[in-house]
Amino acid sequence: MTDINQPENLLKEIGLTRSEAEFYLASLRLGPASAIQLGEHMGHTRQMIYNLLPSLVEKGLIKQSDINGRRLYEAINPEILADRAEKISHQIKELVPVLKSEQATSSAIPLITVYENPLAMRQWYRDFMKQAKNDDELLVWSSGKTQDWFEIDREFYEKYLSFSEKNGIKTFVILPDTKEAKEYQKTVGHKSTRAKFIEHGWETFAEKWIWKNQVCYLTIKGNATNMIVIESHELAEIERFDFLHIWQK
């Protein structure tokens, strides 16, 4: 947090260099002053003052005037500085949609994130619980053999289940038609989960999830658990098509 008793630090946060901030404050305290007076006050040479002036004048922080043949420099009123900052903020808000329309699309370039262990995977769940909305769909391919993850982090996983149920997240799960998978689904599912059991489901300790633009691959076996998340609209659409094709059979 910036110390409000150190105005120099605040000025640096809005884009001024340390020397520019010092100059503005010195000018503010002195009032109209010559380059020599500013240099003496700041402990700088006149040449250093002249080196700083162009950028400060260009930024509108210092104004210059000629009085009786003397060139004087004066800091603008801080209230004017606040008005300019507000105007710039408004202009940026108007500019953002224009810039977005010019932005090159990156949807075809997948973003890949790796969560290397169960504790790291918590971040995905946190992001999910922060972003997921009512009626969102989570599509899950499951082997029905991954209960190790649930047991390792049961308390946290139960928070996720409670969130999904409370917020009406629609979870669809495809599992192999085995007794083990059916018992597993009873343990880790929630009331709004819909499960479909199919013959010849995969037998590996892995799962695949599709949510929004994300395709998540999990290998879940005790502490060897990890998750690879690929964020791509195109890939998610392909995976969603395949899942629904099997689901509707």
The CATH number of 7-96, from 3.40.50.2000, 1.10.10.10, 3.90.960.10, 3.40.605.10, is: 1.10.10.10
**Angle at which helices 46-58 and 35-42 pack, to 10 degrees?**
110
Burial 190-220 (b: 16+ CB within 10 A, else e): eeebebeeeeebbeebbbbbbbebbbbebeb
Q: State both tokens at 215.
A: 């395709």
Q: What count of residues does the chain have?
A: 249
Residue 106 is predicted with a pLDDT of 52
Residue 212 is predicted with a pLDDT of 92
Residue 235 is predicted with a pLDDT of 92
Q: Which residues contact 233 (CB under 8 A, 6 or more apart)?
A: 107, 213
Q: Which residues contact 65 (CB under 8 A, 6 or more apart)?
A: 32, 71, 72, 74
**For the domain 111-247, what is the CATH superfamily, name and number?**
Endonuclease Chain A (3.30.870.10)
Whole-prediction pTM: 0.55
pLDDT string in tens for the chain (249-residue length): 444 457 777 777 767 788 888 888 888 888 888 888 888 888 888 888 888 888 888 888 888 888 777 888 888 888 877 777 777 778 888 888 887 777 665 556 788 999 888 788 888 988 999 999 888 899 999 888 766 666 667 788 888 888 888 888 889 999 888 888 888 787 776 677 899 998 877 777 788 999 999 999 988 776 677 889 999 988 999 999 999 999 988
Residue 215 is predicted with a pLDDT of 96
What value, to the nearest 5°, has the Cα angle with vertex 110 and ends 106 and 116? 140
Pairing assessment for the beta strands 206-211 and 137-142 based on DSSP bridges: antiparallel
The residue ranges of every structural domain in the chain are 7-96, 111-247
Residue 93 is predicted with a pLDDT of 84
